Amino acid sequence: MVCTDLATCPTFWASLGAGLSVLLSAIGAGLGIGISGPAIAGAGVERPEVMLKTFIATILAEALAIYGLVVGLLSIFAIPGLTTIEGGTRIFAAGLTMGAASLGAGFGIGAAGSAMASATAEKPDIFSRAVISLILAEALAIYALVTALLLVFGAK
Amino acid sequence: MVSDTLLHLLRDNYLIARLRGKRSKLLERQQLIALSEAKSQTEIIGLLAEGPYGPELSKLGAESSTIETERAVRLGFADSVMGLIRASQGDTHDFLVQYRERFDAYSLAGLVVFKAQGKTWEEYLTTRLPLSLMKEQELHRLYSLDDLSTIARQGGDRHLVGRLKGFSMTDIEGEKASLVRDVINGWGEERLYKYMDKKLSGLDRGNCLPIAGSAIDIANLTIIVRSKIIGASGVKDHLIPSHWKLNQRAIDQLLTAADATQALDAVASHEYYGRILSGARQKYEESESLSFIEVALRRYQLDLSRRIFLGFPYSVGIMLAFLILKENEARNLAAVLAGVSAGLPTDDLRSLLVRE
């Protein structure tokens, strides 16, 4: 499909959405890993036995980038079948939703993961409770993932 | 405030996580009591071999004196502080250096008192606090001076010179020596307080100021009460001009008290310090010493530190709180080692331990 006007071009909006999804999710994941990583390392220096457990924060943060990549790839696969501007904007919205939510969740995972790691270093038995806030931060990205997938699959 | 918190979250979280890990390894009261039941100093050193004091304590011989053991414990504490300073960056690094600068005042106070007592440089050196920023060479030079005012000017500043007016090296003995030590230590505490008051903001300030503020107020209280015990005049000149909760009105009230016991009664009814120093007069009359004030301050600062650890973790307050807890651990450990070495009964030793 050849577009003469970018503002009404479905391919343009869908490509922008796919790019935003991957980009913002990667930034979110980077924030999560970058903030929680040093705290995990610090906790590991003092208590090597808790280091493996506290790695969950970086794994959850990394998952954000994967969500963004999934939405981005599905968006790219959907581009050839797009015929209307509505379809293009749906994919753009899906990418923006996934990317922005990952950005927020990434910061949340970073801050909560950092606090969880340092609290676990002080009291290892607190881990199972401290990890709850981390999972709740991750859940924010999962809500966005579900919404984004529904938007992408409904795009025509 | 938000920017400070973000900065601590992004920059200091490695350090904060390490501190919290270290905090869990501090010797608890039960462990100190178990150590106090040891038969000899060597047994305690063996038990502590794996801990943070291990490297310094293991250097001691079987016949080490109490002073040498105490110094080894203090070196263990100094290693922890230096490790923290090395791992810190930016404002947090500056803050920890300011904390370390406080030990210059302790070194200077020790120097003046030792010199006034006619002790040798070598004797002073064995008790010197290793955290002082002043180099050994500089302290040695100051030790060779005979005039208190010159020592205060070269080792301190014009404020310290002013506060030591009226004292001379030849008449510093007994309670007067303690008063001079209080004045110099108070000068050091004030420098840290001023730094916190001017440079810190938000949660950092809120967490740190009560610890430094109570230290300067209690230093002023001790100076006033001790002056009344020895009947010294011109007390106002020796006082720290900054104050936190012990305001000018409260200080004037303490200054007009007829004697030390009346001053202690006045502070026991103070709206803030009343709960920390309740029954101050009775404690003084029982012990005939002002050391209970120092113990009360330590207990209060330990309580504040414990609360900081329970609160929001991203502030420099947590570093100060850890240092207070660590310093207390070192003091308690030194007391246990000295007590066991002197053959003090376990019950007496337990009463010397200051806990959270």
Measure in Å the smallest separation between the Cα of B257 and chain A Cα atoms: 47
At B321, which amino acid appears?
A
| Tokens 């506060």, residue located | B163
B218 Cβ neighbours under 8 A, 6+ residues apart: B273, B293, B294, B296, B297
Q: Using an 8 Å Cβ cutoff, are A138 and A105 in contact?
A: yes
* Secondary structure (3-state) at B116: helix
Q: How far apart are CA A97 and CA A148, in angstroms?
A: 6
- Please indicate, yes or no, if residue A3 is contained in any of the structural domains: no
Q: How far apart are CA A104 and CA B279, in angstroms?
A: 54
- Please indicate, yes or no, if residue A2 is contained in any of the structural domains: no
Largest Cα–Cα distance in chain A?
A: 63
- Please indicate, yes or no, if residue A148 is contained in any of the structural domains: yes
For chain A, positions 72-111, list CB contacts with chain B under 8 A.
110-111
Q: How far apart are CA B291 and CA B300, in angstroms?
A: 14
Partner residue opposite B21 with nearest CB, options A38, A111, A122: A122
Partner residue opposite A114 with nearest CB, options B9, B18, B19: B9
Question: What pLDDT is recorded for position B128?
Answer: 80
- For residue A136, give the CATH number of its domain: 1.20.120.610
| Residue-range definition of the domain harbouring residue A134 | 9-153
Measure in Å the smallest separation between the Cα of B310 and chain A Cα atoms: 10
- Please indicate, yes or no, if residue A1 is contained in any of the structural domains: no
Q: How far out from the chain centre does Cα B260 lie? A: 23
Q: Where are the alpha helices (DSSP H) in chain A?
A: 10-46, 48-54, 56-78, 85-122, 127-153
Query: B94: exposed, middle or buried (C-beta count within 10 Å: 0-12, 13-18, 19+)?
Result: middle
Question: What pLDDT is recorded for position B356?
Answer: 66
Q: Using an 8 Å Cβ cutoff, are B96 and B117 in contact?
A: no
Kindly determine whether residue A46 and residue B16, on different chains, have CB atoms separated by under 8 Å: no
- Please indicate, yes or no, if residue A72 is contained in any of the structural domains: yes
> Is the predicted pLDDT of residue A120 greater than 90, yes or no?
yes
Q: pTM of the entire structure?
A: 0.88
Partner residue opposite A121 with nearest CB, options B9, B17, B309: B17
Q: How far apart are CA B160 and CA B314, in angstroms?
A: 35
| Tokens 């993961």, residue located | A113
- Please indicate, yes or no, if residue A110 is contained in any of the structural domains: yes
ipTM of the complex model: 0.84
Cα separations (Å) of B86 from A45, A70, B16, B97, B331?
15, 43, 14, 10, 23
- Count of the separate structural domains present in chain A: 1
Question: What pLDDT is recorded for position B59?
Answer: 81
- Check if A21 contacts B (Cβ < 8 Å): no
Kindly determine whether residue A39 and residue B14, on different chains, have CB atoms separated by under 8 Å: yes
Question: What pLDDT is recorded for position B62?
Answer: 66
B139 CB neighbour count, 10 Å cutoff: 21
Q: Where are the alpha helices (DSSP H) in chain B?
A: 2-11, 13-23, 29-36, 41-47, 54-57, 66-87, 90-116, 121-127, 136-143, 148-155, 158-163, 175-199, 202-230, 235-238, 248-255, 260-268, 280-287, 291-310, 317-342, 346-352
Per-residue pLDDT of chain B (356 residues; tens, 9 = 90+): 678 888 888 889 999 999 999 999 898 888 888 888 888 888 888 888 888 888 888 887 767 777 888 888 888 889 889 989 999 999 999 999 999 999 999 999 999 999 999 999 998 988 887 788 889 999 999 999 999 999 999 999 999 999 998 888 888 888 889 999 999 999 999 999 999 999 999 999 999 999 999 999 999 999 999 999 988 878 899 999 999 999 999 999 999 998 999 999 999 999 999 999 988 889 888 888 898 999 999 999 999 999 999 988 899 999 999 999 999 999 999 888 888 888 888 888 888 787 76
Q: Using an 8 Å Cβ cutoff, are B342 and B66 in contact?
A: yes
Question: What pLDDT is recorded for position B309?
Answer: 92
Cα separations (Å) of B82 from B86, B132, B225?
6, 11, 35
Contacts of A45 in chain B (CB under 8 A): 18, 21
Enumerate helices (H) and strands (E) in chain B, giving the number of each.
20, 0
